């Protein structure tokens, strides 16, 4: 074999390797931030001296220095009078606030249910807010509207563009 053919074949093979096997170009949302903990199909129980405070479940979770993130989140808050459960496609928990996005479903122990595409829940004040459309159900009653503000402790709600069917009976 001619030396020129040998070097030509080597150059061709190396060129093919370079073209077909490019290094992966990994892009991160924030290149300086790396998850401290990653979990797959997890359940996290938060306990206090008083007992079980909250349960968080998900299909994938990441803990960062200042927040927790989870896919397919199922969050239950047992710290107040009524147990409250929230489910969504994605959730972020930071500074006693839970932000939920995508197919949000809220259910309280006494039967109150609402559905939305996004919601924010403050664990200290037990206030749930949405910016977009929502549907709320309580027994046979239903309400739909936008920009829900719901205080679970005071059991009061406010919203815009309200439409609904609510049976108001006065007990004597």
What b/e readout covers 44-58, taking b as 16+ CB neighbours within 10 angstroms? Answer: beeeeeeeebbbbbb
149 within some domain? yes
Q: What's the pLDDT at 59?
A: 95
Q: What's the pLDDT at 111?
A: 86
138 within some domain? yes
- For residue 121, the tally of other CB atoms under 10 A from its CB is 24
Which parts of the chain sit beneath pLDDT 70?
1, 22-31, 170-172
Q: What's the pLDDT at 99?
A: 94
Q: What's the pLDDT at 89?
A: 96
- For the chain, what is the domain count? 1
58 within some domain? yes
Q: What's the pLDDT at 31?
A: 62
17 within some domain? no
26 within some domain? no
Q: What's the pLDDT at 1?
A: 65
For 31-59, the pLDDT digits (tens) are 677 888 899 999 989 898 888 888 989 99
What range does the domain containing 114 cover? Answer: 37-164
Residue 144 belongs to domain with CATH number: 2.60.450.10
């Amino acid at each position: 074999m001619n030396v020129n053919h040998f070097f030509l074949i080597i150059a061709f093979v190396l060129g093919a390797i370079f073209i077909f096997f490019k290094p992966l170009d990994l892009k991160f949302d924030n290149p300086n931030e790396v998850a401290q903990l990653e979990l797959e199909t997890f359940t996290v129980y938060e306990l206090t001296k008083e007992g079980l405070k909250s349960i968080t479940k998900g299909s994938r979770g990441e803990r960062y220095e200042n927040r927790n993130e989870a896919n397919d989140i199922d969050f239950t808050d047992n710290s107040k009078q009524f147990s409250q459960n929230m489910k969504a496609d994605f959730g972020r928990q930071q500074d006693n606030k839970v932000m939920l996005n995508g197919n949000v479903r809220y259910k309280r122990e006494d039967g109150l249910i609402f559905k939305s595409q996004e919601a924010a829940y403050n664990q200290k004040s037990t206030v749930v807010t949405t910016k977009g459309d929502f549907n709320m159900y309580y027994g046979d009653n239903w309400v739909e509207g936008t920009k829900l503000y719901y205080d679970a402790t005071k059991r009061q709600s406010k919203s815009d563009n309200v439409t609904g069917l609510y049976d108001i009976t006065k007990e004597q």
